[in-house]
A and B are shown apart, each in its own frame.
Chain A
Amino acid sequence: MEPEIKIVNVVVSTKIGDNIDLEEVALILENAEYEPEQFPGLVCRLSVPKVALLIFRSGKVNCTGAKSKEEAEIAIKKIIKELKDAGIEVIENPEIKIQNMVATADLGIEPNLDDIALMVEGTEYEPEQFPGLVYRLDDPKVVVLIFGSGKVVITGLKSEEDAKRALNKILETIKEVQEL
């Protein structure tokens, strides 16, 4: 059995309009925060699905916190409808692009982080600063955080398939390290 991979966060971007008046949007959407002095984007939190949306004057939108691309799509459709109902010009079916995904998994073994750091290129292990070992893979181009418990976090993902490939690579290199 392969380790179970759980997607815990999906970051997506899209464009829902042009020259959006964020002051106006802030009044339309209830859980909206807009403080241009602090950040140029408007922050909107939804409870279902539980995500946070960043809306910019350019009409570009980021959605974070979703567990899948579909969930992010539902969230974006929701705010599009609300803005449309309020009379704001919006793009109805915008193209949605996955920018990043975060996944967790359990290797099922307790790796020796010191040995991995010593023998594997592209690793950083500074327990004084963080308990996990940072491993940057070239293909797929992702970053894996490996912990002494065997739990791992994979980020920088563009697809679930990459998570599987990354996990298999990690398991392979750890086995090699254990043998040497």
Chain B
Amino acid sequence: RLRKWQRRIRVSDAAERNLAFALSELDRITSKLGLPRHVRENAAIIYRNAVEKGLIRGRSIEGVVAAAIYAACRRCRVPRTLDEIAEASRVDRKEIGRTYRFLARELNIKLTPTNPIDYVPRFASELGLPGEVESKAIQILQQATEKGLTSGRGPTGVAAAAIYIASVLLGCRRTQREVAEVAGVTEVTIRNRYKELTEHLDIDVTL
């Protein structure tokens, strides 16, 4: 009767409030990361699907929002690392990774591992590198993938090394430190991938 009616109002109120909070968080994080509108909308769809399937139970709204954004970025081929999303949200990378896996499984989101090539445009432009360097880096990564040199390695590290090599080859060298900075990896990692790529792909990088 009246009680039931009131409870329904309360429940829908709470649901509305939660959704509003989630969407505002989604807006805040996506704008902080400078993500395009279609990525944000994609993340919003993923979040709504999660709500409909009751996947939020036992999880924080922020965690699910962050995981939805992470998934949307990958699906739209404009990946952000877990560290970047963890920094922009107030959720730690462990929880985002765990929630992402959970959402992927429950919502049947099938994503292949992030292709290092998808990181090239963003990293290259942040380094102010011309299109030719970008193309060269992508070409290197395609060859690397064919030879299995990307398997098991972190996508950002391989992408960073390819960009570093391409920048040197085309005469607009960026230091390992600069590339490491924008890619969010250490110089040691770039050096390791650099060795691997130049050796196995017979690339002469003479300075």
Q: Which residues of A pack against B, CB within 8 Å?
A: 110, 112-114, 117-118, 124-129, 131-132, 147-148
**Assuming A127-B155, A128-B81, A129-B97, is B112 touching A117 (CB within 8 A)?**
yes
**Assuming A110-B148, A113-B151, A148-B151, is B101 touching A125 (CB within 8 A)?**
no
User: Contact: B112 with A126, CB < 8 Å?
Assistant: no
Which residue of A is nearest B104, CB measured?
A: A124
Q: How many residues of B are in contact with the other chain, CB < 8 A?
A: 15
- Pairs A–B under 8 Å by Cβ, sample size 26: A110-B148, A112-B151, A113-B151, A113-B152, A114-B112, A114-B113, A117-B112, A117-B113, A118-B112, A124-B101, A125-B113, A126-B97, A126-B101, A126-B113, A127-B151, A127-B152, A128-B81, A128-B82, A128-B154, A128-B155, A129-B82, A131-B152, A131-B153, A147-B152, A148-B148, A148-B152
User: In the complex, A125 Cα to B155 Cα: how many Å?
Assistant: 12
Residues of the B chain whose Cβ atoms lie less than 8 Å from the Cβ of A132: 152
Contact with A along B13-27 (1 / 0, CB 8 A): 000000000000000
Whether B89 sits at the interface, judged by CB under 8 Å, is no
User: In the complex, A128 Cα to B96 Cα: how many Å?
Assistant: 13
Q: Which residues of B pack against A, CB within 8 Å?
A: 81-82, 97, 101, 112-114, 148, 150-156
Which residue of B is nearest A130, CB measured?
A: B152
Which residue of A is nearest B155, CB measured?
A: A128
7 tightest Cβ-Cβ pairs between the two chains A and B = A131-B152, A148-B152, A148-B151, A127-B113, A113-B151, A127-B152, A128-B154
Which residue of B is nearest A111, CB measured?
A: B151
Which residue of B is nearest A110, CB measured?
A: B148
Residues of the A chain whose Cβ atoms lie less than 8 Å from the Cβ of B150: 127
Residues of the B chain whose Cβ atoms lie less than 8 Å from the Cβ of A124: 101
Residues of the B chain whose Cβ atoms lie less than 8 Å from the Cβ of A129: 82, 97
User: Contact: B154 with A127, CB < 8 Å?
Assistant: yes
User: Contact: B112 with A128, CB < 8 Å?
Assistant: no
User: In the complex, A112 Cα to B152 Cα: how many Å?
Assistant: 10
User: Contact: A128 with B156, CB < 8 Å?
Assistant: yes
User: Contact: B153 with A112, CB < 8 Å?
Assistant: no
User: In the complex, A127 Cα to B113 Cα: how many Å?
Assistant: 7
Residues of the A chain whose Cβ atoms lie less than 8 Å from the Cβ of B101: 124, 126
**Assuming A126-B97, A129-B82, is B112 touching A112 (CB within 8 A)?**
no
User: In the complex, A113 Cα to B112 Cα: how many Å?
Assistant: 11
